[in-house]
Structure 1
Amino acid sequence: MATPENSRNWLLIHSPNHPISQSCYVNDKTFHLPLKVPPVCSLSLGGVMSEAKTPTPTPPGDTYKGWVFKWTNYIKGYQRRWFVLSNGLLSYYRTQAEMGHTCRGTINLATATITVDDACNFVISNGGTQTYHLKASCEVERQRWITALELAKAKAVRMQAESDDSGDDFPSSSPRITQGGGSQNSEVQSALRTLSNKVEDLSTCNDLISKHGSALQRSLAELDGLRLTGEAGDKIRQVTERATLFRITSNAMINSCRDFLTLAQTHSKRWQKALQAERDQRVRLEETLEQLAKQHNHLERAFRGAAQANASPDNKGAAGPGKGEASDEDDDNEFFDAMEEAPEFITVPADPQFHKLVSFPLAELVPLKKRRTRIPDKPNYSLNLWSIMKNCIGKELSKIPMPVNFNEPISMLQRLSEDLEYHELLDKAAKCQNSLEQMCYVAAFAVSAYSTTVYRTGKPFNPLLGETYELDRKRESGYRSLCEQVSHHPPAAAHHAISDRGWTLRQEITVASKFRGKYLSIMPLGTIHAVFEKSNNHYTWKKVTTTVHNIIVGKLWIDQSGEIDVVNHTTGDRCHLKFAPYSYFSRDVARKVTGVVMDKDGKAHYVLSGTWDEKMEFSKVMQSSRGGENGTEGKQKTVYQTLKARELWRRNPLPDGAETMYYFTALALTLNELEDGVAPTDSRRRPDQRLMEEGRWDEANAEKQRLEEKQRSARREREREAASQRTSSQSEEGAPHDNYLALWFERCEDPITGEEIHIYKGGYWEAKERGSWENCPNIF
C-alpha cells in the first residue's frame, strides 16, 4: 500500500476535535471549506492518515503506486502486480524491482474508460486493444484507486487538449512573446491557462463529491431502515443529521463551483475573441508596414532616376530653376509626367509642412512569373545498360564516360538545389522558440531531401568545372540559392541558400560512387549546415548512402540506408536518425526512418518516425525506461512512452504525367526553365542538357563529348601555366598542380567541423543586378 508521501492526489475530510475543515487536494492544489460540525471520517488516496497529521503536498510529477491484483488467465487467475500511475499513464510490473528495466504494460488514461464491477473489482480499457481486469484488497482501497485514476484521467485529457490546441507547430510550455504587444498577449494566455486549470480541478472535485455524497446517502438510508432503538438509534440519528448538514454544505460548494465555471467560461471566450482580434490587427499592421516599406524603396529609386534625368545633357536647356536652386514644383512635374499612365496608384501623405500628396505605381504588385508545369516526354530509347557497365566494375562513376541515355535533363547542381523542395520546414523551424522543437523540423528537413529520389533512377549531368546554378525564389518563397562546381576531380559542388525568413543553408558535397555489378552505391561526402538567425542555433548533418539496385536484370529501384546525426552545436541537442535498408524478409514498413531527439544530457524529448518517401511524424516523450536485452549484441532496448503522434512533413504529390517526364516533381520541372539575366555559366545554358530535354539525344551525346574535351583542354592549359610559374611544384603523380580557383566561393577551414570547404564569398547577386558577367569563364 502506498504511503502518503508517495501519493499524488488527496481527498481529505478531516479535522480531529476541531470545527471540521474540509480540504480537497487535487493536482498539488488545496481547496478549503470550513464547516461547524464534528469530524465524520478520514480518507486519503494512497494510505491511511493519523488524525493529528495533515497531508504533505505532493511535488509535481510524483507518482501513485501500490499493489493491485490483475487477472492473468483462467489457470492462474488474479495475480498481485505493482502498479504505477504517473503523468496520465498507468503501468504495471511484476515486482517493484522491475521498475528500472521491464514494464509489463501501459495504458494511456486520456483515451481509457474506467468501470466498476462490484465491491472490489474494476476494469480499465482503451477500446479493445488493452483491457486490465483489476481487484483491490478491499472496497476502500478500490475507491482510492478509482479516485486517483479519475483525477489523473481528467488531467491527461486536459493536457492532450492543450497540446492539440497549442498551434500549427508544436505545443509550447511557455507563451511566445512577439513584437507589438506580445508580452500582454502572453499574460492573457497565461491567465487563461491558469483559469482553465482551476475550472478543471473544480469540475473534477464536483464529480467526486457528488459520487461520494450519493453513496453516503444510500448507506445512511439503509441504516435508518433498521429502526434501531436506544443508544444505537440516537447515534444513527446524530450521524444522519451531520450527513445532512454535510450534504447541504457540499451542495452549496458545488453550486458555487458551477457558477464559477460558467463565469470563467464566459470570460474565457470573451478574452479569446479579444485576443484573436488583437492578433488579426497586428497581422494587418505588419502587412501594411511591409507594403509601405516596399513602396518607400520604390519611391526612392524613382526619385533617383528623376534626379539623374534632370542632370542629363538633354535637360540643360530646359526652362526651370538654375543650378543649386530648389523647386518642389519642378520635382513633382518631372515625377508625375513619367508615372501618370500607370495602372495603379497609391497616395502617401508627405511632410505636413508641404501639404502635398505623392503618387506612384506599385511595381511589387506585378503578378509572379507563371512557371512551366511540363517538359517534353522522355523518348523511348532502348539501350543495353550491361553492355556499357560490364567493363566499369569497381570504377568511380564520375570517371565513366556515360551517354545521356542514362541521364535526366538536369545537372547535379540542380539536383542539389532540389534539397529546398520543402523549405517550409526551415521556415517553421525559424519560428520555434524551443531548440528541441526546432530540432524536429530540421531533422524532418534532412529526411525530406530524399523523397524526390524514390522513382528517379536517371543520373544527373556531371557539372563542368565552373558551372553554376541559381534558384531565385525570393519573391515566391523568400529564399535564394546558388551552386557552383568548385572541383572536378574529385567532383565537388558548393551550395549556399539564404532566406528572408531567418535561416541560411550551406553545404559542399563530394560524391563517391562505386559500381558493384548488381548494384551501384553512391556515397555523398561533406557536411550540411543550417543556421538560424534569431536563435543563432547552428545545425550540421551528413547524407546517407544511396543504392541503385537491379543494374543487370530487372527494374531499377532506389534505396537509402545509413544513419544521420543532426547536431545543434549551440545547445548540444542531438537527433539520431536511422534509415533502415530494405529487406524482403523484414516485417517493418519499407523505407522506414526512426529517430530520437535528445538534449545535451542525453534525455529523450521527442521520437520521430515515418518513411523517407512519404511522411514523418513526431511524438512527445512522457517517460522512458530501459528494457531487457533485445538479442543483438547484448544491447538493451529503450522503451518510450509518448503522446499521440502528430505529422511533421508529408511528400507533395507528383504532377500529372510524371512517369513520362522522368518522375520530376513540380519544382524539378521548373529547374531547367530558361530565365533572363542568369550567369553564362548557369546549367540552364548548357547545350547538351538542353538538347536532351528537347528529345534530341544523338545531338546531345555529340555535344556532351565536345564539352568534356573542351574541359580537358582547359585543364591541361591550367596545368601548363602552373608548371611555368612553379616548375618545382609537382604532384605525387608527376603532373603539375591545377591552380583553379572558384569564382563565387572561397576555400577555407570550417570553424565548426574543421573540414576544408568552400564558403560563399558574395558578389553573385550584385553582379546579376548589374548584368556584369565579365569574370565568368567560357565553359560552354
Structure 2
Amino acid sequence: MIVSCKVLRMTCNISTLIFISEGSSNLCTPTPTPAGDTYKGWVFKWTNYIKGYQRRWFVLSNGLLSYYRTQAEMGHTCRGTINLATATITVDDACNFVISNGGAQTYHLKASCEVERQRWITALELAKAKAARMQAESDDSGDDFSPTSNPVVPGQGGGSQNSEVQSALRTLGSKVEDLSTCNDLISKHGSALQRSLSELDSLRLTGEAGDKIRQVTERATLFRITSNAMINACRDFLTLAQAHSKRWQKALQAEREQRVRLEETLEQLAKQHNHLERAFRGAAQANATTDNKSSTGPGKGEASDEDDDNEFFDAMEEAPEFITVPADPQFHKLSPSELVPLKKRRTRIPDKPNYSLNLWSIMKNCIGKELSKIPMPVNFNEPISMLQRLSEDLEYHELLDKAAKCQSSLEQMCYVAAFSVSSYSTTVHRTGKPFNPLLGETYELDRRRESGYRSLCEQVSHHPPAAAHHVISDRGWTLRQEITVASKFRGKYLSIMPLGTIHAIFEKSNNHYTWKKVTTTVHNIIVGKLWIDQSGEIDVVNHTTGDRCHLKFAPYSYFSRDVARKVTGVVMDKDGKAHYVLSGTWDEKMEFSRVMQSSRGGENGTEGKQKTVYQTLKAREVWRRNPLPEGAETMYYFTALALSLNEQEEGVAPTDSRRRPDQRLMEDGRWEEANAEKQRLEEKQRSARREREREAANQRTASQSEEGEHEQYPSALWFERCEDPITGEQVHIYRGGYWEAKERGSWEGCADIF
C-alpha cells in the first residue's frame, strides 16, 4: 500500500515534467503535490465583472471539489461544491480552466502558473475517474466489489482471518486503476503533443528554431517511454503481490494458530499452578488440624471438588506475586483522610437557546466608548464570569509542570512561551462575552488532587475592571497576574486590550518570568459571522538569568499566503545569542527547534533591515490543543475545563462566581429572568458604592479618584495592594488566608454582593 501511494504521487507529478524540462519551473512556486486522494491549494475564481477573479481556498477530496474564502472557513462555512463524477473539465489557455456540472454549476478558475494549473488538471482527472468508478460500483447488484477489482484469494480460515490481505489487494487494484487512468491521460496528451510537434516540423524551420523543435520532440518521446515503463512496473508489482498473497495468508494463519496454542497453554499452566497451591495448603493445614476434622464433608484443608467453581487465594508471605514501586512523592504528603476518589466533573451544560438578537442595534451607539461601562444584555454573554475565563489560562498547566523539571533555563523558556500562547486556543470560536464580575466577587479553582494546583481570583476594582489572580502548584511553580481589560468598539470590529503583567516563578531554579497579553479583535460586528483574531507581540523575560523570548502574533490578512493565526518566536540568552526557534499557531500547536547556527541574510523589508537565517535541528512539538468535547457547538464552544468551571460546588465562598444568580439562570436557558436578575445585581452594586461614598464624606476622608486610576475600594479581601518588586507597577498580590478560611468554613469577612 505504501508503494502504491508513492506511485500515485509520482503519477500526479507526471504532467508537470514536460514544462519543467523546458525550463518553465521558474514561472511560479508550485503548490504541494496531492497526497493520496486529497488536494488543497489557492486558486483564483471568477466572481463577477466588478470584482473579477478572487483568491479562494479549494479542497479536492472524495470526488468533491469545494471552495472557501479562507482556510479558516473549512471548519464551518463551505462556499460551494461540485461532484466531479458528472462534471466536465476543460482548459481555456495556459493558466485558465473550467469545471462545469451540467450547466447548474460552472467554475471559471485561474491558476498562478502553467505548472500549477496542470497539477490541478491531473488531480481533477484522477478524482473524476475514481468518483465515476465508485458511483458505478454503488449502482451494481450488491457485490462487495466490481468485476474489474482484483480477485479475492480464498483464505485458510474465516473471513476475518484474510480480510487484511483482501483489503490490501483491493487497495492495490484501485491504485493500479488510477495509474491506468494516468496512462490514458499521458497517451492522450502525448499524442496531442506529438501532433503539434509534427505540425511544427512540417513548417521546415531551419537554424536554431529547427534544432529546438527536434530537441523538444526527443524529450517528448523519452517522456512517453518513461511513463509506459512506470505503468508496466506497477502492473508487475501488483502481479507479484497477487502471486504471493497465498503465502502471506498461510503465514498469517500459522501465526494466529500459534498464538491460540500459546494462550491455551498459558491457561492450563495457570490452572495447574492454582491446583498445586490449593493441594499444598490443604496438606499443610491437614497436618496441623488432624484431630479437628469435621465428620460431615471435607475439612478446610482438603481439596474438594466443590472448590472448582469457587477459587480462593491466600496471601503468601514469601515469594510475592507482584512488585511494588514507589509512587510520586506528592502522594506521600497526603494524609489518609485525603486519599479519596477524585471528583467526577460534569461534561455537559444545557444547550444554548436559539435566541436571535441584532448585535448592531445595540453596538451602534457604543462606537469609540469603553464597553465595560455600558450595560449589555446576557444575550451576548457566555455563562461564565471574567474570573472564570481568566482561570481558563490553566487549561494547559502541564506546560508549567514540565518547565519546572527542566535543567536548562533556555529550554524552560520554550515551555513558558508555549504556555503564554496556549491560553488563546480557547478563544477561536468563543464570540460570547463573559460576565463582568461584581466588585469583591471571587472564584476558586481547586484542582490539587487532580493536577496539583489551587487557583484564586478576586475582582479588586470595578472602574476600570481589574482582577487579581494567584495560583500555587505542588509541582514547583507559582503563577500570579493582575489583568485590567480595556475595550473599544471601532465600528466594524471590537478591540480588547488586556493590560497588566503575568508572573511565573519556579521554586527549584528561582527563575522569575514575566509577560503581557496581546490584543484580541472581534470582527464582523455589523454584518457577517463573528470571528476572532489575536495580534501583537509578547516579550517573555527571565529576570533571573536575562534570557528572553520574543513572540509575534501575525494578524490575519486576506491577501497573505501565510498560515492563519501564525505565531513565531526566538529564545535568546542575555547576550542576544539565539538558542531556540518557536513556530506554530495560537489555535493548534507550537513547536521548537534548537538553533545550531545563525547568519545575516540580504536586505529584507524597509529601512535596510537584514533578515536573520537560523540553521536548526528537527522541530519538536511542545504543545497541541485538546479537542473540543462532543456537542461543543451547542454549548458555547466550551472546552472540557470550561464546562466544569460553573459547576455547583460545596464549601466555596459566598462571593464565588458559581453562586451568581444571573449567570446561573443564563446557563439554565432562562435568559429573560437572567436579564432581570443582572439589572438587580448591578443596581445593588451601584447602591453599595453610593453608600461607601456617603460614609467617606461624613468622615471627611474621601478622596476623589482621578480618571483612569483604580477605584478606592475599601480593600480587597484576599489580595493587598503594593508595588511589584520586579516591574515597579502597583498591583494586588495574594495576602493568604483564603484556603484556611475554607477549611474552617468561616466566611465572616465576605461582603453580601449577590
SS in structure 2 of the partner of residue 202 of structure 1: helix
C-alpha contact 1:102 1:627 (8 A) present in aligned 2:
no
Let me know the Cα RMSD of the aligned residues. Answer: 16.8
Q: 1:98 Cα shift?
A: 44
The separation in 2 between residues aligned to 1:140 and 1:484, in whole angstroms, is 60
Q: 1:367 Cα shift?
A: 1.4
- Write the deviation string for residues 581-617 of structure 1: whole angstroms up to 9, x where unpaired: 0001111100000000000000000000000000000
Distance 1:738 1:143, change over 3 A: closer
Worse-matched range after superposition: 610-619 or 627-636:
627-636
Q: 1:110 Cα shift?
A: 45
The separation in 1 between residues aligned to 2:391 and 2:225, in whole angstroms, is 73
Q: 1:59 Cα shift?
A: 47
C-alpha contact 2:45 2:107 (8 A) present in aligned 1:
yes
The separation in 2 between residues aligned to 1:277 and 1:762, in whole angstroms, is 68
C-alpha contact 1:113 1:124 (8 A) present in aligned 2:
yes
Q: 1:411 Cα shift?
A: 0.1
C-alpha contact 2:293 2:299 (8 A) present in aligned 1:
no
Q: Unaligned stretches of 5+ in structure 2?
A: none
Worse-matched range after superposition: 506-515 or 45-54:
45-54
C-alpha contact 2:286 2:302 (8 A) present in aligned 1:
no
Worse-matched range after superposition: 271-280 or 509-518:
271-280
1:406 to 363, 367, 380: 380
C-alpha contact 1:175 1:190 (8 A) present in aligned 2:
no
SS in structure 1 of the partner of residue 633 of structure 2: helix
C-alpha contact 1:566 1:574 (8 A) present in aligned 2:
yes
C-alpha contact 1:409 1:692 (8 A) present in aligned 2:
yes
2:555 to 581, 584, 588: 581
The separation in 1 between residues aligned to 2:104 and 2:411, in whole angstroms, is 31
Distance 1:175 1:280, change over 3 A: farther
SS in structure 2 of the partner of residue 337 of structure 1: coil
- Write the deviation string for residues 124-158 of structure 1: whole angstroms up to 9, x where unpaired: 99999999999999999999999999999999999
Worse-matched range after superposition: 556-565 or 629-638:
629-638
The separation in 2 between residues aligned to 1:281 and 1:725, in whole angstroms, is 92
Which residue number in structure 2 is paired with residue 286 of structure 1? 263
Distance 1:317 1:94, change over 3 A: closer
Aligned identity (percent) is 92
C-alpha contact 2:46 2:109 (8 A) present in aligned 1:
yes
Worse-matched range after superposition: 342-351 or 298-307:
298-307
C-alpha contact 2:487 2:496 (8 A) present in aligned 1:
yes
Q: 1:507 Cα shift?
A: 0.1
C-alpha contact 1:719 1:738 (8 A) present in aligned 2:
no
1:340 to 313, 317, 330: 317
Q: 1:401 Cα shift?
A: 1.1
Distance 1:139 1:650, change over 3 A: closer
2:711 to 712, 716, 738: 738
C-alpha contact 2:12 2:123 (8 A) present in aligned 1:
no
C-alpha contact 2:30 2:116 (8 A) present in aligned 1:
no
C-alpha contact 2:9 2:36 (8 A) present in aligned 1:
no
The separation in 2 between residues aligned to 1:198 and 1:604, in whole angstroms, is 47
C-alpha contact 1:596 1:607 (8 A) present in aligned 2:
yes
C-alpha contact 1:349 1:356 (8 A) present in aligned 2:
no
Distance 1:406 1:655, change over 3 A: same
SS in structure 1 of the partner of residue 471 of structure 2: strand
SS in structure 2 of the partner of residue 319 of structure 1: coil
C-alpha contact 2:9 2:35 (8 A) present in aligned 1:
no
C-alpha contact 2:599 2:613 (8 A) present in aligned 1:
yes
- Write the deviation string for residues 464-484 of structure 1: whole angstroms up to 9, x where unpaired: 000000000000000000000
Pick 1 or 2: higher relative contact order, CA cutoff 8 A, min separation 6: 2
The separation in 1 between residues aligned to 2:234 and 2:35, in whole angstroms, is 24
C-alpha contact 1:46 1:144 (8 A) present in aligned 2:
no
Distance 1:132 1:675, change over 3 A: closer
User: Do residues 653 (structure 1) and 653 (structure 2) align?
Assistant: no
The separation in 2 between residues aligned to 1:108 and 1:595, in whole angstroms, is 42
Distance 1:644 1:285, change over 3 A: farther
C-alpha contact 2:150 2:170 (8 A) present in aligned 1:
no
The separation in 2 between residues aligned to 1:72 and 1:582, in whole angstroms, is 23
Q: 1:631 Cα shift?
A: 2.5
The separation in 2 between residues aligned to 1:662 and 1:84, in whole angstroms, is 28
Which residue number in structure 2 is paired with residue 270 of structure 1? 247
The separation in 1 between residues aligned to 2:459 and 2:285, in whole angstroms, is 40
Distance 1:588 1:717, change over 3 A: same
Distance 1:328 1:728, change over 3 A: farther
- Write the deviation string for residues 722-778 of structure 1: whole angstroms up to 9, x where unpaired: 1122257444589xx9642x0000000000000000000000000000000011000
SS in structure 2 of the partner of residue 392 of structure 1: coil
SS in structure 2 of the partner of residue 530 of structure 1: strand
- Write the deviation string for residues 226-247 of structure 1: whole angstroms up to 9, x where unpaired: 9999999999999999999999
Q: 1:633 Cα shift?
A: 2.6
C-alpha contact 1:487 1:493 (8 A) present in aligned 2:
yes
C-alpha contact 1:294 1:364 (8 A) present in aligned 2:
no
Q: 1:720 Cα shift?
A: 1.0
- Write the deviation string for residues 451-493 of structure 1: whole angstroms up to 9, x where unpaired: 0000000000000000000000000000000000000000000
C-alpha contact 1:120 1:142 (8 A) present in aligned 2:
yes
The separation in 2 between residues aligned to 1:427 and 1:312, in whole angstroms, is 59
Q: 1:188 Cα shift?
A: 47
Worse-matched range after superposition: 708-717 or 364-373:
364-373
Distance 1:162 1:120, change over 3 A: same
Q: 1:721 Cα shift?
A: 1.4
1:286-685 equivalences in 2 (<5 Å): 363-685=337-659
Distance 1:461 1:148, change over 3 A: closer
Q: 1:254 Cα shift?
A: 46
Distance 1:698 1:563, change over 3 A: same
- Write the deviation string for residues 654-701 of structure 1: whole angstroms up to 9, x where unpaired: 000000000000000000000000000000000000000000000000
The separation in 2 between residues aligned to 1:488 and 1:304, in whole angstroms, is 76
SS in structure 1 of the partner of residue 13 of structure 2: coil
The separation in 2 between residues aligned to 1:220 and 1:504, in whole angstroms, is 75
The separation in 1 between residues aligned to 2:434 and 2:532, in whole angstroms, is 15
SS in structure 1 of the partner of residue 324 of structure 2: strand
Distance 1:403 1:246, change over 3 A: closer
The separation in 1 between residues aligned to 2:410 and 2:569, in whole angstroms, is 13
Distance 1:349 1:256, change over 3 A: same
Distance 1:154 1:294, change over 3 A: farther
Q: 1:271 Cα shift?
A: 39
Distance 1:618 1:773, change over 3 A: same
Q: 1:175 Cα shift?
A: 58
Distance 1:571 1:706, change over 3 A: same
Distance 1:602 1:390, change over 3 A: same
C-alpha contact 1:674 1:684 (8 A) present in aligned 2:
yes
- Write the deviation string for residues 172-225 of structure 1: whole angstroms up to 9, x where unpaired: 999999x99999999999999999999999999999999999999999999999
SS in structure 2 of the partner of residue 484 of structure 1: strand
Distance 1:582 1:141, change over 3 A: closer
SS in structure 2 of the partner of residue 347 of structure 1: coil
Worse-matched range after superposition: 417-426 or 286-295:
286-295
Distance 1:54 1:375, change over 3 A: closer
Q: 1:636 Cα shift?
A: 0.7
The separation in 2 between residues aligned to 1:646 and 1:375, in whole angstroms, is 36
Q: 1:118 Cα shift?
A: 44
Distance 1:709 1:539, change over 3 A: same
The separation in 2 between residues aligned to 1:79 and 1:694, in whole angstroms, is 44
C-alpha contact 1:101 1:627 (8 A) present in aligned 2:
no
SS in structure 2 of the partner of residue 252 of structure 1: helix
Distance 1:89 1:770, change over 3 A: same
Distance 1:514 1:616, change over 3 A: same
Q: 1:364 Cα shift?
A: 3.7
